Amino acid sequence: MVGRVGVRPPALCALLVALLAGAQPMSDLEIEQNRDAVATMFSDAFSGYMKAAFPHDELRPISGGWTDSLIELGNVPSPRRDGYSGVALTLLDSMDTLAVLGNHSEFAEAVRWVGEHVSFDQDAIVSVFETTIRALGGLLSAHVLAAGAMPGFAHMRVGGYDGALLRLARDLGDRLLPAFEQAPRATGLPWPFVHLQRGLCEQPVAEQCTAGVGTSILEFALLSNLTADERYARASLGALGRLWARRSAHDLLGTTLNIHTGAWINPLASIGAGVDSFFEYLAKGARLLDSSELHAMFDSAYAAVGAHLQTGPHFAVADMNDPASRRQPAHGALQAFWPGLQCLVGDARDAARTHEVHMQAFDKYGAMPENYSVRAGRGEGRVFAGHEPYPLRPEVAESTLALYRATGDHAYLRFGARMIASLNRVAKAPFGYASVRSVATGALEDHMPSFFLAETLKYLFLLFDLRNPLHAQAGVLLSTEAHLFPTLGASGLPHDVWLALGVGKGREASSGELRQC
């Protein structure tokens, strides 16, 4: 069990239900209709991608075109297009959604195609973070499903499957490893970008974000477990430990740092952009590996957020070294994952209050603006100029699902139904669903991010598919990209791998030789 607070007294649960009361219970028929509506949305968007964009990375849902976008993700300074021909990113990302939807034939076909055709042997520079969570995570999850080894999903076993996706995952893991193994010696902090064929030799970016360092333990630990090759888990734990060693006296981390010096470039602590999944992976890593070390790190980090950033349902941005002096209120779409994390660690009551603010922002605009302001206490949203897009992000749906599973309150089903209606009203496009460029004007962007199929629709489907095998499985976790990962327990990694975490020791664990280019 992860988390400071395990069980809430019944009186508080009753209070929570009373607070949210007023929502009409949703009938079984209505729940089923919503589930079918999400399945139809998935099928429209997935077949739109397969017809118009596959095997390229992502769909242009308005024009029916495509984009090889993996090389653009993570704010790469200047994407180099020549030499990169796509890895069917949307398919990699949505294979396990097909499994969650119970579509065995389409899942098996995707597994076969990816195993035969996808190659990462490309002359291209990619974001380690984005490639890890979308591509590596998607491959590992689909591998475990296809092998019939995902708890609750044995029916997804693919006859004759020979482990091709794990071979591909391992090949990709080897291409990502130089970011860790050739980290600058002074800090041991990993590089944010990597050249898929040549390792690091072409990318000089030294500004790394907290989430970029702290979001690989699920994928790298599972890869190490499945391949019996410790290097991946060792690299990921080492990076995490060295990042943690750079926290402030308040147990806060900033947003970005320089990997040559370890100095914080942006010392603002938050739960939003650039930091978010760092917290998530401490909590989920602790659960995946039944690790008291990660659990203790999470508890400290979570307590620091509660003490220095949280005021009631709201979360501020503040200086990691002097959180009292430079506190700014902040409301952003990425923060909306936090209530889901709180449910995971047993704080559903707090989660409900925070999620209320996010639901109001979504209801007000029919979409989740990237940033908005809130008038004191009233949840009255106003979009900051210039921060108006809604790129079909999953976080609000994720927290809605977590809160419904934690409380059983039909207010969350009602909200999910409003999300479905909204998406169909504001984002439906001829070939799929389009990112919203401005929630104020309703203008659309000709882009459907792969995570819309991997995450947003998966969470919404799970919200209404009450008998989905996932709900009965304590043995399956969802990654930050909503990929299904089987929990491994304390025997998931050999004991000495944990030494790499070296909590509190900082820099000396830096491994690997510097390769001359």
Ligand X SMILES: *[C@@H]1O[C@H](CO)[C@@H](O)[C@H](O)[C@H]1NC(C)=O
CA distance 357 to 242: 35
Q: Which is nearer to ligand X, 172 or 222 (CB)?
A: 222
Under a CB-based contact definition with an 8 Å cutoff, are residues 119 and 172 in contact? no
Residue 13 in the binding site for ligand X (CB under 6 A): no
CA distance 75 to 62: 24
List the one residue out of 411, 379, 271 whose CA is nearest residue 330. Answer: 271
442-501 binders of ligand X (CB under 6 A): 488-489, 491-494
Taking the complex as a whole, the smallest distance from the CB of residue 458 to ligand X amounts, in Å, to 14
Residue 43 in the binding site for ligand X (CB under 6 A): yes
Active site residue 276: yes
Name the catalytic one among 57, 251, 370, 481: 370
CA distance 370 to 389: 6
Residue 90 in the binding site for ligand X (CB under 6 A): no
Q: Which are the contacts of 214, defined by CB distance < 8 A and separation ≥ 6?
A: 239, 240, 243, 277, 278, 281, 282
Q: Which is nearer to ligand X, 4 or 51 (CB)?
A: 51
Coil, strand, or helix at residue 382? strand
Residue 69 in the binding site for ligand X (CB under 6 A): no
Active site residue 171: no
CA distance 332 to 369: 7
Residue 271 in the binding site for ligand X (CB under 6 A): no
Among 141, 182, 215, 225, binds ligand X (CB under 6 A): 225
Taking the complex as a whole, the smallest distance from the CB of residue 387 to ligand X amounts, in Å, to 5
Q: Which is nearer to ligand X, 334 or 348 (CB)?
A: 334
Q: Would you state the structure tokens that stand for residue 180, as one six-digit string?
A: 């860790």
Residue 371 in the binding site for ligand X (CB under 6 A): yes
Q: Would you state the structure tokens that stand for residue 506, as one six-digit string?
A: 């900082």
Q: Which residues of 205-233 are buried (b: 16+ CB within 10 A; e: fewer)?
A: eeebbbbbbbbbbbbbbbbbbbeeebbbb
Q: Which is nearer to ligand X, 165 or 200 (CB)?
A: 165
Q: Is the dihedral of CA 57, 273, 133, 262 positive or negative?
A: positive
Q: Where are the alpha helices (DSSP H) in 185-265?
A: 210-214, 217-227, 231-244
Residue 265 in the binding site for ligand X (CB under 6 A): no
Q: Give the range of 103-111, 139-147, 153-161, 406-414 binding ligand X by CB under 6 A.
A: 103-111
Taking the complex as a whole, the smallest distance from the CB of residue 503 to ligand X amounts, in Å, to 21
Among 257, 333, 419, 448, binds ligand X (CB under 6 A): 333
480 in a labelled binding site: yes
Residue 157 in the binding site for ligand X (CB under 6 A): no
120-149 binders of ligand X (CB under 6 A): none
Q: Which is nearer to ligand X, 411 or 453 (CB)?
A: 453
Taking the complex as a whole, the smallest distance from the CB of residue 230 to ligand X amounts, in Å, to 8
Residue 334 in the binding site for ligand X (CB under 6 A): yes
CA distance 456 to 489: 28
Among 32, 72, 106, 202, binds ligand X (CB under 6 A): 106
Name the catalytic one among 96, 276, 293, 299: 276
Taking the complex as a whole, the smallest distance from the CB of residue 437 to ligand X amounts, in Å, to 15
Q: Is the dihedral of CA 483, 356, 338, 376 positive or negative?
A: positive
Under a CB-based contact definition with an 8 Å cutoff, are residues 315 and 334 in contact? no
Coil, strand, or helix at residue 67? strand
DSSP secondary structure string for all residues of 297-317: HHHHHHHHHHHHTEETTEEEE
Among 58, 219, 299, 370, binds ligand X (CB under 6 A): 370
Q: How many other C-beta atoms can be found within 10 angstroms of the C-beta atom of residue 324?
A: 9
CA distance 268 to 317: 6
Taking the complex as a whole, the smallest distance from the CB of residue 509 to ligand X amounts, in Å, to 20
Active site residue 455: no
Q: Which is nearer to ligand X, 196 or 226 (CB)?
A: 226
Residue 94 in the binding site for ligand X (CB under 6 A): no
Q: Which is nearer to ligand X, 183 or 318 (CB)?
A: 318
Active site residue 445: no
Catalytic positions are 130, 276, 370, 395
Would you tell me which residues interact with ligand X (CB under 6 A)?
Answer: 43, 46-47, 103, 105-106, 225, 228, 272-273, 330, 332-334, 370-371, 384, 387, 488-489, 491-494
Q: Specify binding-site residues for Ca(2+).
A: 480
- Binding site listing: 480
